[in-house]
Structure 1
Amino acid sequence: MRITMTCWAVLLVGLALLLFKRDWLLGFFAQTWVQLGASVVLVALAAGWLLMFLNTLAIIRPKYLAPGARIGLTASLLVLAVAITGSMGYGAFVLNKGRETITNVFTSGPAFKPVEGRYNIAVFGADSAGNRDGVRTDSMSLLSVDAKTGKSLLISIPRNMQNAQFSADSPMREIYPDGYDCGNECLFNAIYRDATDNHADLYPDAENPGAQATMDAIEGTTGLKVQSYVMIDMGGFEGFIDAMGGVTVDSGGWVPYNGKAWPNSSVNTHWFAPGVQEFNGKHALWFARSRDFTSDYHRIARQQCLQQAMISQFNPKTILTRFTSLMDAGEELVETDIPQQQLGSFLNLADKARSTPFKRLTLGAPDFGSASDKFSTYPDFEVIHTRIDSLIAAEGESKKSKKSDKDTKKAEPSKTPKSTTPEEPKRNTEPGEIGTAPSDAPTEQNDGSPLTEKYLVTLEQIGRTDLLEKIAANNNDCSVP
């Protein structure tokens, strides 16, 4: 009886914490020792309840009951035994599975504090396919998150960016004091491999010198202190999306991808149509990596969109219903130096970030001129730092504005003051460049019917790639429905 009352008390306290102190509860259960202890307790309780049901059957002695009562009572007790002990056993399995994943993916050590009120995490998309020598960072970005509100700024760095600056305390500055400048070979995505193969001795304490050097370059380029990194394997990405049950985006344009060749044709291009798309893992990966008929800047925008969609749709329901597959896929997806002790605070921020759209910035077209301006080739780092600072400052002004609005409404309920939030800098786009479809881009077939995948394939078969480039020019337009 005492144990039962204790269990009910723990459940009630847990419910109260979930309602009023959810952040503390998430942080508490994100600790591996808590998960281990809770799983042991659940196993013990499951065994205890099973023994109690068996003892109850022995006391009742069903064989002395009437046939109808005997069957009904025995069946009821067995159903209760399976339901209660099974639930506790599954709970122990879930906790232990989560503990194993956290131990395998995250590092040991203390949590780190935000810098100037923000967490800045480098995110790499890595390709280590069997037909490639070593790891190649195909996409690089910096996720800067307000430590209180969860509002996020996602800064994408083109892989072909040149003259990257290293942070002041980076050992890579000894090799490249004026930036990563040695011509077309010194692109941003070459830093990881260069440091791994040639300068690992500069990072004797780092488990991944390539990641550390790339973090230093992101820090020097953006002017924000980079505290940690997450590396996402492209093959693991596909499996993780499938484990989530897919991901949904609203695509603004036609997006090509390579598949099987069409019948009686050498053309193997297929197309995702504009509109809401529900992608499985393979299609999400194709959508994120496509750049046929477009450019790197188009796929950067789609990758930003997919990242936001994944966070928005990675909700408690998904976690509860797909927990085991998500944990298995997560181990194949992520490499990181984020400490286990940090997980609780990051789970809280992720929950806040789910309902808040990212601000997105690309260090190239269309946020810094058009593709023809070649900003990524000849970047102006002072301009980059100023833009980033203004976007972060705008978040702070937005918080102040909302507080001021609330105070004003209390004092003058009949008036609605204008927002003082600064506008986000407008994107610089030109007809035919990223972000817009040129005015002469076909919007229908010659007979007036809507564009179809079959029609686009026909255009490629007859060599009209010029029209396909115009049709695909706005396929960077993507949002989360």
Structure 2
Amino acid sequence: MGLPTSPGRLESTLDRATADDRAAGVRYRRALMLMVMTLVVPGSAQLIAGNRRVGRIATRIWAAVLVAALGSLVLAAVWHEYAFWLVFNTTALGYLRLGLMLLAVGWAALFVDAWRLGQPLTLSLNHRRTVVGVNGVLCFSVAGALLFGAHLVGVQRTFVLTLFAGDTVTGSHAGRFNVLLVGGDSGAGRWGMRTDSMTVASIDAATGKSVLIGLPRNMTDFPFAKGSIMHKAWPHGFNCGYPNCELNGIPTWVGDHTSLFKGVKNPGMNGTISAIEGITGLKINYWAMVNLAGFRGLVDAVGGVTLNVRQPIPVGGLGADVTGYIQPGVRKLDGFDTLWFARSRDSSDDYSRMARQKCVMNAMLHQISPKTVLTNFEKIAKASSAMVSTDIPPSEVDRFMQLALKAKAQPVSTLSLVPPMIDTGNPDIPLIRRKVAQAIAASTRPPAAHHHRKRLPTTVTGGSIGSMNSGYAANDASNLGAVC
């Protein structure tokens, strides 16, 4: 039988237990606080309880990163050119990606060290498990976020390097940049991509106001720019009496005569550009080839495009069966339907299709917001890489992004060189050049306070007011959005 415990001894034991519990609670809270400090100010835990030299280095780096990030945000807000430079400069993107990866590794190491400084072996089992769990969540969350940011930067850098492969910078011509936009699709037996649609975007170098000049793919008997390889081969115009001598047949002809284009990087586009310049009298700065199959992916990446479908648009055709119709109404179309809205010509004609394509361009320009681009960035970059090839150099991308933002707030003008104004089988080149010059000049003038509106036809097609005989309004408009 044991000796009875005296009241004094029992009280002393309880006091020690209470003191131990308090000490354990203090150590637990201290361990958590060190990790919170590392989350808020990396290196601060080391300054308080660890290697102060490491703490000073870490906090100074964090302060520099914070100042640089805040400074960049302020600078980008007041000077958009800086933001575009940062987003499209591959060297800056490379350093930023490396910096984010190093920051992720360093921050994770500081979390591990903060856990060590919390003396986890002195904690109770439950407290130890909690500290390990909290440290793991914070460590992987912060490092994961930084590494994901580095991944997005890498995606953007790869996108720029893949898409913008040009190496020659050209200045504006008469205050304008003229960019040839070619829609094409690949197929068996073709040299590269078949040019399905051709549009010159003539952009005011100061205001971004744009005129879309559409050229029909079936135009024949047209001249080439003097001094070009194609002009030497066809000094009297491109008219050989068979289908390949239409405007969209130039890449095929060039593919059969590659010996004439020795040393030319993209012979098919070179020949097409010389034709566009010969027809319009404009000097082309750059070109962009849009793969129509990839275009579907881009529309899906931005969440679809809202279009005014005026008549049922066949899905299919073009040598295959019609499998359905896009029904009339203001509809938000996915990539598949938007592609057919732009391409379908079953029970229609090329000029109606050109009008619908202009409406799609206008919708995408005005509907795709910076927020949409940011939230769907990786999808858009992937789709764009598969969709577009261009000779715009990376150093010029920020310029065109600025012009695109300016253009977004303004109506787009259009001019399509189609019937009834132009006979595509026997085009009046002087008339075409006058019309092009007039459309560009009109786009530079401010809108009049009161002006007589041209009476629009009452008939409609799938994507524009008008008909082949009266002219589709979207093919010749001072405000494209109003007639789509």
Aligned partner of 2:216 among 136, 150, 158 = 158
**TM-score normalised to structure 2 length:** 0.78
What aligned pairs does 1:360-375 form with structure 2 within 5 A after superposition?
360-365=414-419, 368=421, 375=423
Per the alignment, residue 41 of structure 1 pairs with: 99
2:87 and 2:156 in contact (8 A); partners too: no
Per the alignment, residue 258 of structure 1 pairs with: 316
Which amino acid is the alignment partner of residue 241 of structure 2?
G
Aligned partner of 1:397 among 445, 450, 455 = 445
Q: Secondary structure at the match of 2:64?
A: helix
Q: Rg larger in 1 or in 2? A: 2
Q: Secondary structure at the match of 1:165?
A: coil
Q: Secondary structure at the match of 2:410?
A: coil
2:306 and 2:332 in contact (8 A); partners too: yes
2:345 and 2:353 in contact (8 A); partners too: yes
Deviation at 1:85, TM superposition (A): 1.8
Name stretches of at least 5 consecutive residues in structure 2 with no aligned partner: 1-58
Deviation at 1:65, TM superposition (A): 4.5
Name stretches of at least 5 consecutive residues in structure 1 with no aligned partner: 260-265, 369-373, 402-417, 439-468
- Looking at structure 2, the residues matched to 305 and 433 of structure 1 have their Cα atoms a distance apart, in angstroms, of 12
2:305 and 2:367 in contact (8 A); partners too: yes
Which amino acid is the alignment partner of residue 387 of structure 2?
L
Deviation at 1:331, TM superposition (A): 2.1
Per the alignment, residue 345 of structure 1 pairs with: 399
Per the alignment, residue 408 of structure 1 pairs with: none
Alpha-carbon displacement from aligned partner over 1:169-209 (angstroms, at most 9, x marks no partner): 212111211221223532111112112222x3333332210
Per the alignment, residue 281 of structure 1 pairs with: 335
Tell me, yes or no, if structure 1 residue 101 matches structure 2 residue 159: yes
Which amino acid is the alignment partner of residue 323 of structure 1?
F
Per the alignment, residue 249 of structure 2 pairs with: 190
After TM superposition, the structure 1 stretch with the greater mean CA deviation from structure 2, 155-164 or 70-79, is 70-79
**TM-score normalised to structure 1 length:** 0.78
2:213 and 2:415 in contact (8 A); partners too: yes
Aligned partner of 1:310 among 337, 354, 364 = 364
Instruction: Tell me the matched-pair count.
Output: 416
Identity of aligned residues (%): 33
Per the alignment, residue 38 of structure 2 pairs with: none
Per the alignment, residue 351 of structure 2 pairs with: 297
Distance 1:433 1:274, change over 3 A: closer
Alpha-carbon displacement from aligned partner over 1:35-61 (angstroms, at most 9, x marks no partner): 111100110111111111111111112
1:123 and 1:232 in contact (8 A); partners too: yes
Deviation at 1:380, TM superposition (A): 1.5
Which amino acid is the alignment partner of residue 16 of structure 1?
V
After TM superposition, the structure 1 stretch with the greater mean CA deviation from structure 2, 124-133 or 341-350, is 124-133
- Looking at structure 2, the residues matched to 396 and 62 of structure 1 have their Cα atoms a distance apart, in angstroms, of 72
1:119 and 1:144 in contact (8 A); partners too: yes
Deviation at 1:365, TM superposition (A): 3.1
Aligned partner of 2:449 among 419, 442, 460 = 419
Alpha-carbon displacement from aligned partner over 1:353-409 (angstroms, at most 9, x marks no partner): 23333211110136x2xxxxx6212221222212221222123222xx7xxxxxxxx
- Looking at structure 2, the residues matched to 376 and 168 of structure 1 have their Cα atoms a distance apart, in angstroms, of 21
1:152 and 1:358 in contact (8 A); partners too: yes
Per the alignment, residue 81 of structure 2 pairs with: 23
1:252 and 1:474 in contact (8 A); partners too: no
Per the alignment, residue 92 of structure 1 pairs with: 150
2:115 and 2:131 in contact (8 A); partners too: no
Distance 1:108 1:132, change over 3 A: closer
2:209 and 2:444 in contact (8 A); partners too: no
- Looking at structure 2, the residues matched to 313 and 274 of structure 1 have their Cα atoms a distance apart, in angstroms, of 20
Deviation at 1:343, TM superposition (A): 1.4
Distance 1:67 1:394, change over 3 A: farther
Q: CA RMSD in A?
A: 3.1
What aligned pairs does 1:227-242 form with structure 2 within 5 A after superposition?
227-242=285-300
Tell me, yes or no, if structure 1 residue 377 matches structure 2 residue 425: yes
1:253 and 1:474 in contact (8 A); partners too: no
Per the alignment, residue 449 of structure 1 pairs with: none
Deviation at 1:91, TM superposition (A): 1.3
Q: Secondary structure at the match of 2:139?
A: helix
Per the alignment, residue 412 of structure 1 pairs with: none
Q: Secondary structure at the match of 1:231?
A: strand
1:255 and 1:273 in contact (8 A); partners too: yes
- Looking at structure 2, the residues matched to 93 and 389 of structure 1 have their Cα atoms a distance apart, in angstroms, of 46
2:287 and 2:392 in contact (8 A); partners too: yes
Deviation at 1:350, TM superposition (A): 2.0
1:249 and 1:309 in contact (8 A); partners too: yes
Of structures 1 and 2, the one with the larger relative CO (CA 8 A, separation 6+) is: 1
Distance 1:355 1:436, change over 3 A: closer
- Looking at structure 2, the residues matched to 247 and 10 of structure 1 have their Cα atoms a distance apart, in angstroms, of 37
Per the alignment, residue 413 of structure 1 pairs with: none
- Looking at structure 2, the residues matched to 365 and 90 of structure 1 have their Cα atoms a distance apart, in angstroms, of 53
Which amino acid is the alignment partner of residue 189 of structure 1?
N
Alpha-carbon displacement from aligned partner over 1:425-472 (angstroms, at most 9, x marks no partner): x5986969996578xxxxxxxxxxxxxxxxxxxxxxxxxxxxxx99xx
1:251 and 1:475 in contact (8 A); partners too: no
Deviation at 1:132, TM superposition (A): 5.7
Which amino acid is the alignment partner of residue 449 of structure 2?
S
After TM superposition, the structure 1 stretch with the greater mean CA deviation from structure 2, 213-222 or 302-311, is 302-311
Deviation at 1:342, TM superposition (A): 1.4
After TM superposition, the structure 1 stretch with the greater mean CA deviation from structure 2, 250-259 or 149-158, is 250-259
- Looking at structure 2, the residues matched to 277 and 40 of structure 1 have their Cα atoms a distance apart, in angstroms, of 44
